[in-house]
Structure 1
């Protein structure tokens, strides 16, 4: 009875961890992607909006990505704009908001690492336990987790397509306990460089990556069983 309960508990944890692991991993990949920044700068004409050359914009993007991973308290971006050196591109309100963003990003990174470690541990327990050596008891929970992730990602994708502005507002209200994220697009460089469309694109990338990975995990048992069947036939 106890072993059966532990088996069910292990399977349930795997199902719940899979979407958490996939989403946080993809958030990390997208947040640290130079391509996303360059793509957004070009797509939304940030060079003409800010008067900052593309090379300097990409330098600013690199400093932001580094800031998310280093131990620096406050973001400092020194660049050139139209031949003039700017000691710090962002004002105090923007800098304080970026500190909040960094705390959120690092929390996501920590969740990703711990969920990965727990996922690996649970899978190893499944393979090593005498009562759990049955193939389906190890691989099926991963597939169910993939199915759950498909559902979650599909819902987020649909909400993003038909109401991203509301979803974006809800995200800020839930994630931050202040109004530092409310910026002026006519004078605050942070929102000039990263308009709402930039975050819509980032969300699309995350959803597409997550859907692809989740679909693979969902069909994984069928693929493995088929391969095992072919191997036995040979």
Structure 2
């Protein structure tokens, strides 16, 4: 039973870390006020597009982000460009964003599964109070440390050649080449250049790192407190 409790604790930690990572992604791209406007200004995105206003571009972006969360049925977004009404995204971009939406919704589903599994494992450990403090916090510490260590190594590897691993990411998660866009015909690649993805990845890494260290610190503090109480 002792080893089962430890496995449960480590599994809970892994689930919590996955939850924190997916939430960090959501927080950066959905909850950061003015983030897209800031990035569009930084990379002079409007200069890459047919004449349009920042207000219209942000409206397009808002509808695109709603689509990724399943709040819109399609990505046929009408806006004003070059003085005329037209669809912002073409068929190739829409097809690619359907794949992106599927990936995003899967991530949200995984987060829900992790939340449910964490709750079940914590309840299981709570019913065996003899091991609750002795195993739970050390196991959470171990699981959090292992997961964070692995992610840190992966982040360092990716940061050494972001472009290479950005392309590899697309090869792994997409089964077609719709993600290969042409800046002369496709608006999507112009509004989110590689620099945008680098900035976003950096923000996600910082937020995830902070939340992970906070979780680890809480687990470590409670572990040490319990050990001190047992010795005393």
TM-score interval, normalised by the smaller of the two chains: 0.7 to 0.9
Query: Paired residue for 2:125?
Result: 126
1:218 to 212, 216, 219: 216
Q: 1:226 to 1:14 in 2, by over 3 A?
A: closer
Q: 1:75 to 1:85 in 2, by over 3 A?
A: same
Query: Paired residue for 1:60?
Result: 60
Query: Paired residue for 1:145?
Result: 143
TM-superposition CA deviations, 1:51-80 (whole Å, max 9, x none): 331111111111011101226443121111
Q: Within 1, Cα distance between the matches of 2:70 and 2:13? A: 32
Choose 47-56 or 171-180, whichever is displaced more: 47-56
Query: Paired residue for 2:190?
Result: 192
Choose 33-42 or 51-60, whichever is displaced more: 33-42
Choose 47-56 or 15-24, whichever is displaced more: 15-24
TM normalised by structure 2 equals 0.88
The answer to whether the aligner puts 1:89 opposite 2:77 as a matched pair is no
Query: Paired residue for 2:22?
Result: 24
Alpha-carbon deviation of 1:227?
6.9
Is the Cα–Cα contact under 8 Å of residues 17 and 144 in structure 2 kept in the other structure?
yes
RMSD: 2.3
Choose 50-59 or 146-155, whichever is displaced more: 146-155
**Greater relative contact order (CA < 8 Å, ≥ 6 in sequence):** 2
Q: Within 2, Cα distance between the matches of 1:198 and 1:82? A: 24
Q: Within 2, Cα distance between the matches of 1:157 and 1:7? A: 30
Q: Within 1, Cα distance between the matches of 2:122 and 2:71? A: 33
TM normalised by structure 1 equals 0.87
Q: How many residues align?
A: 227
Gaps of 5+ in 1: none
Is the Cα–Cα contact under 8 Å of residues 18 and 149 in structure 1 kept in the other structure?
no
Q: 1:210 to 1:149 in 2, by over 3 A?
A: farther
Alpha-carbon deviation of 1:228?
7.5
Structure 2 residue matching 1:79: 3-state secondary structure:
strand
